[in-house]
Chain A
Amino acid sequence: MRAQAKLGLVLLLTPLLLWLTLLIFIPHVDMLLVSLRERVSAGVYRTSLANYWAFLSEPLYLRTFMRTAVMSTLATVITLLIGFPVSYYIAKIARGRVQSALFLLCLVPFWVSELVRTFGWMILLRETGIISNLLQFLGLVEGPVEMLYNDAAIMVGLVYTSMLFMVVPLVTTLQTLPDEVVEAGYDLGGNSFSVLREIIIPHATPGIVSGCIVVFMLSLGNYLTPIMLGGKDSLWFTELIYSQFIVRFNWELGAAFGFMLLLLSSAIVWGMLKLTGQSLERTVG
């Protein structure tokens, strides 16, 4: 019987282990190895940190790296600021069918691919787009306005793409906040602001942190949105990785970039958890 149970466990775990090993572990180990080798001449390699040195010594790489980190952080903060009231409304104020309908509405954009969604923004924002035409029609501007290919457009796209991943964990944690706990706050002499700060936000912290982690990682690793909405000047780090791998066939440098991105996201997630006193198990589990 015990042997059978053991076999069952092994069989159950096999797909997961296969997935982890084949798709996560092996590629990353290989990427690490690739990033640590230096091409001396055609087909001749030696182990060195040259690729990482190239990353650190080239200001363009470093600046793009930092810019991506800062923009992703900003996108996360904006998503949180917009997502929190929305989630609070869905979780605590809307009731019954309205609640499920609103929740579903957050999901609707995800029925089409990211490409189509981003293209939707391009239709709105480009020089000959809807908003530009509307402004001209209303006489508010003279001549077409280009609203694409700048940081604001990237930001709009990132926030839009990530909203659902912020709203879902927030709604889930806010739904577990009992109404009486909020009422007791008012009864004990709190106003809206102090109740929000002392009661609602502490309760929602696990949801806030897990939402922020997911949104941050998605923004950092996003490729399509910054390229399409930011154009050639988007300077997004994933674009650098892409060009090293695909355009320049410099797999070694690309792999080093990939590792830097992994380190950056791990560091920021770790910092976020430390700062809020949360553990990964609590926020994700």
Chain B
Amino acid sequence: MTGVVLNNVVKRFGEVQVIHGVDLEIDDGEFCVFVGPSGCGKSTLLRMVAGLEETTEGTILIGERDVTRMDPSERGVAMVFQTYALYPHMTVAENMGFGLKMTGHPKDTINSKVAEASRILKLDPYLDRRPKALSGGQRQRVAIGRAIVRGPEVFLFDEPLSNLDAELRVEMRVEIARLHREIGATMIYVTHDQTEAMTLANKIVVLRSGRIEQVGKPMELYSDPDNKFVGGFIGSPAMNFLNGTTAGGHVSVPGLKQDLALPLNLQEDGRKVSVGLRPEHLEIDPAGDTLTVELTEALGGVSYAHLVTPTGETLIVEERGDVRTEAGARVGLTIPLEKAYLFDADTELRIR
């Protein structure tokens, strides 16, 4: 069993605290994605698991072994870096076999492991080349291959696709998902891209300012966010938020000139709330005239209408099919009440 457990992990750089007591359990064979905006501490947390940053407080267990004070080499992890971190003076094969060479394995073992990894990653034609002669995607493959050859218990990926162009990113994303299926090892993956998180993860950890906001399966986070931040972070385009107040069991939303009878038991009147509405759940009602269409973005299959409320708030609505609303039009909105989320305006926590 090689799960990873973080117990109340804290990181301070001098006076500045960047990780505020993180508790997390990652099961054996799980694909866990740390996601969050830049500066949320996700990379720092990963580097702490790798042993490249010291842990100020708390403990880190890998496969029930306390590794908190161990050197990176003793932890049984292998990291794939955003910048690939390949060695320019070595060939692809030497790069991939480097980890085993450092730990004094015989040449035969190294060769067979490198051959195995290059087969998985389709790198055979490039084994004698140097990293300089490879494309970005191939370099990232070599970096992944280097991690595979090391045969770690846990793979760590630090934004591995950020340096690739959009097309390659999709391709490598699929590749990494396939790799996880094939190898079945525990993987921890850091990204700021919620699409990568949604498509790759068994478990997503949403981080903000060094704290865990929510942990769950991708669709759980999408359909059942614990707070406004997770609601806004997961899903693309992002969730719309409108200000409202509770009144008589309903939510009065001035931006829509409407009282929403949400299926919730709201007892307190006059509570300031934020109503979360996903673009894909809303529908434009051409008969209405509360909202103004500012602009529309047609992407082919879907288009996004940007609407402005009378209170100056903005909304994005996804339209499918051939119906396209023109910019400048006045429209209304059909809201499926069971798919609306309610958050407290001050604490930002979900009201269920």
Q: Which A residues are within 8 Å of any B CB, using their own CB?
A: 178, 180-181, 183-191, 194, 198-199, 202-203
Specify which of A181, A187, A191 is in contact with B79 (CB 8 Å cutoff): A187
CB distance from B206 to the nearest CB of A (A): 25
Task: Report whether B78 and A187 are in contact in the complex, using a CB–CB cutoff of 8 Å.
Answer: yes
Instruction: Collect the chain B residues with CB atoms within 8 Å of residue A178's CB.
Output: 83, 85
Query: Which residues of B are in contact with A by a Cβ distance under 8 Å?
Result: 50-52, 71-73, 77-79, 81-83, 85-89, 98-99, 102-103, 146, 150
B72, B83, B86: the one within 8 Å of A187 (CB) = B72
A158 and B122 CA atoms in complex are apart in Å by 55
What residues of A have a CB within 8 angstroms of the CB of B52 in the complex? 183, 186-187
Instruction: Give the A-B pair count, Cβ closer than 8 A.
Output: 57
Query: Are A189 and B79 in contact, CB atoms less than 8 angstroms apart?
Result: no
- Which residues of B sit under 8 angstroms from A198, Cβ to Cβ? 87, 98, 102
Known: A180-B83, A188-B99. 5 other contacts (CB 8 A): A180-B82, A186-B71, A189-B150, A191-B71, A203-B88
Complex alpha-carbon distance, A190 and B83, angstroms: 19
Q: Is the interface of B mostly helix, strand, loop or mixed?
A: loop
A181 to B79, CA, bound (A): 11
B83, B86, B102: which contacts A189 (Cβ < 8 A)?
B102
**A188 adjacent to B83 (CB under 8 Å):** no
Contact B81 A188 (CB under 8 A): no
Which B residues are CB-close (under 8 A) to A184?
A: 79, 81, 85, 146
| In the complex, chain B residues whose CB is within 8 Å of the CB of A202 | 87, 89
Q: Are A180 and B102 interface neighbours, CB within 8 A?
A: no
When A178-B85, A180-B83, A188-B150 are in contact, do A194 and B102 touch as well, CB less than 8 Å? Answer: yes
Residues of A within 8 A of B77 (CB): 187
In the complex, what residues of A have CB within 8 A of residue B78's CB? 187-188
Contacting residues, chain B, for A183 (C-beta < 8 A)? 52, 72, 79, 81, 85
- Please report the C-alpha to C-alpha distance between residue A276 and residue B10 in the assembled complex, in whole angstroms: 46
Which chain B residues border A191 with CB–CB below 8 Å?
71, 73
Q: Which residues in A have their C-beta under 8 angstroms from that of B150?
A: 188-189
A158 to chain B, nearest CB (A): 31
CA distance A191 to B81 in the complex (A): 19
Kindly provide the distance from the CB of B211 to the nearest chain A CB, expressed in whole angstroms: 25
A190 interface neighbour in B85, B86, B88, B102, Cβ under 8 Å: B102
Q: List 20 A-B contacts (CB under 8 A).
A: A183-B72, A183-B79, A183-B81, A183-B85, A184-B79, A186-B51, A186-B52, A186-B71, A187-B51, A187-B77, A187-B79, A188-B150, A189-B73, A189-B99, A189-B103, A190-B102, A191-B71, A194-B102, A198-B87, A199-B87
Contact indicator A188/B102 (Cβ below 8 Å): yes
- Determine the residue in chain A with the shortest Cβ distance to B81: A180
